[in-house]
Structure 1
């Protein structure tokens, strides 16, 4: 069996869903995690997690030396650095066949169900997204070539040194690989995680939409199993969790507002349906894009009026 380690720097404060996250990790005992953090190390956690305690400033010095750039490191800027994790944390991953990066806003399903021995044998880069590198789960074969692949991307130092997030982990690296199709054996054939309207991760504000059960992540609407649940647009709305790692529940539900052991009352679904109709995620996105378009039109009209004067 090919060995895999997922690298995850995380600074600040553990999120409310952290214990559910830990529980889902514990049900993937053949995958290891390396968490680099300034948070307090929990008293109880899965055996397949290794914590490295450090400060953001200390890590910044190490990052700069390895990538040979002056990186203005911040929690958001880590996303640009993800393809360099294999080099930055090389001393911790020498024993593994594959290294990868992932996110914290995830509840894991059964990873080996989707990342099969055949895939690990045939491919050197493995993504959970279709035709694109995934910032929330991506694997690389643990060789010098793939640990330093980021250095082949044109102007990588410039992109690393810009304070603003440059989407190096997803857009930039995806474009580089697409422009060099014979360089690597890349698996990005399917969307392996939650998806809606043809787009991964983003979803409306549902109740009881996801069921984690004995290590599997299940869609309660379709009964489909996914590699993991990435609740990128639920991070601000998911404000509570009943899951306690040490109690090791066999299952729990995930709604946009929290993680819980029992299903909601039918009346809650009626109320939530009304809420989504007027203020759901896609309603909010429509309003945001509409106002953005109006602002753009207004700006152009004012510019023309000024020119005419």
Structure 2
């Protein structure tokens, strides 16, 4: 498939996500967040996930970790270490070669996580295409490549810093799908990357919802999935309520209560509040709903302050009695 072929037809992205073990606790909410997306289709290779309702955006393929290993080894042309599912992250850049049948008719392919809620990814992807860049985003939780021979083979690109053979030989997580490998390969190969700050990447070890990019973070903020968009409301440095939008929100293995709504109730929802420890269905995105969410996240921030204070007291005691 040539780059000229990409320009002649609408974009279609195959997202390949092997997932084995226990069913993700809020998979239904993830699935709900995809319902308005047109350009992307998720292929789940799994032994533990069933769709709670039919979806135009997701296809489930029954598979096992052993079957994935064989496909990746055949594509890479070498033996790999893959005893536990966590190691799959290092082999994500090989998925395009390993599962070519999933890329048929697609202009692009990619990989990602399931601890996300997606927003209007189509709009951001269309902007990326208009800019003429080669790679859409760079993080392991959402990365997209053109479906071209060069990009399918990119994981093999030789650099002094990265050795795929070493990655394949160790059980250790090497983060090859992002900063530990592919990010260095993009630079060495001169790949242009659309890497704007369009994601809400949430700290996993804080009680409240706090962005990892500190320049974008606010002490008082709240997040919603609303009619296909990830919306944030925050109080700025002048005490004014503002709002912005993200391509998706990444909850980073955050411990969230498993929703218990009937499938038809979740399907009908237009707005979901993303709280620090759970999701809430909101009838409408009203000023009252926004203020309630701001208060809930601020209350969780107090737990973080209490934890910091306890750690500080412990350090002082150790110093005093050393």
Alignment TM-score, normalising by the size of structure 2: 0.76
Q: 1:176 offset after TM fit, Å? A: 2.1
Q: Alignment partner for residue 163 of structure 1, among 155, 171, 174?
A: 171
- 1: CA distance, partners of 2:281 / 2:105: 38
Per-residue displacement from partner, 1:238-288 (whole Å, max 9, x unpaired)? 123255543321111011110112455898567534312113xxx49x969
Which residue in 2 is equivalent to 1:57?
A: 66
Point out the more displaced range, 117-126 or 46-55.
117-126
- 2: CA distance, partners of 1:156 / 1:83: 11
Q: How does 1:67-216 map to 2 (within 5 A)?
A: 67-73=76-82, 74-116=84-126, 119=129, 122-127=132-137, 133-154=138-159, 155-171=163-179, 172-181=181-190, 184-188=191-195, 190-194=196-200, 200-202=201-203, 204-206=206-208, 209-216=222-229
Which residue in 2 is equivalent to 1:217?
A: 230
Per-residue displacement from partner, 1:107-162 (whole Å, max 9, x unpaired)? 000111211155267122111xxxxx211111100011111110114521221221
Q: 1:43 offset after TM fit, Å? A: 4.5
1:193/1:267 Cα in 2 relative to 1: closer, same or farther (>3 Å)? closer
1:175/1:273 Cα in 2 relative to 1: closer, same or farther (>3 Å)? closer
Which residue in 2 is equivalent to 1:246?
A: 264
Residues 24 and 215, structure 1, Cα contact 8 Å, conserved in 2: yes
1:218/1:270 Cα in 2 relative to 1: closer, same or farther (>3 Å)? closer
Point out the more displaced range, 259-268 or 72-81.
259-268
Aligned residues: 272
- 2: CA distance, partners of 1:271 / 1:185: 42
Q: 1:35 offset after TM fit, Å? A: 0.8
Residues 243 and 260, structure 1, Cα contact 8 Å, conserved in 2: no
SS of residue matched to 1:169: coil
Per-residue displacement from partner, 1:191-250 (whole Å, max 9, x unpaired)? 1101xxxxx432743378211111010112241110000011xx3431232555433211
- 2: CA distance, partners of 1:39 / 1:72: 22
- 1: CA distance, partners of 2:194 / 2:66: 35
1:10/1:252 Cα in 2 relative to 1: closer, same or farther (>3 Å)? same
SS of residue matched to 1:241: coil
Superposition CA RMSD, Å? 2.8
Which residue in 1 is equivalent to 2:237?
A: none
- 1: CA distance, partners of 2:294 / 2:134: 47
Per-residue displacement from partner, 1:153-179 (whole Å, max 9, x unpaired)? 452122122111101111211112223
Structure 2 runs not aligned, ≥5 long: 1-9, 210-220, 235-241, 283-288
Per-residue displacement from partner, 1:45-94 (whole Å, max 9, x unpaired)? 31121111111112212221211222222221111111111111112112
Residues 153 and 173, structure 1, Cα contact 8 Å, conserved in 2: no
Residues 20 and 65, structure 2, Cα contact 8 Å, conserved in 1: yes
Which residue in 2 is equivalent to 1:226?
A: 246
Q: Alignment partner for residue 19 of structure 1, among 22, 28, 42?
A: 28
Residues 205 and 255, structure 1, Cα contact 8 Å, conserved in 2: no
- 2: CA distance, partners of 1:229 / 1:267: 20
Alignment TM-score, normalising by the size of structure 1: 0.79
Structure 1 runs not aligned, ≥5 long: 128-132, 195-199, 295-309
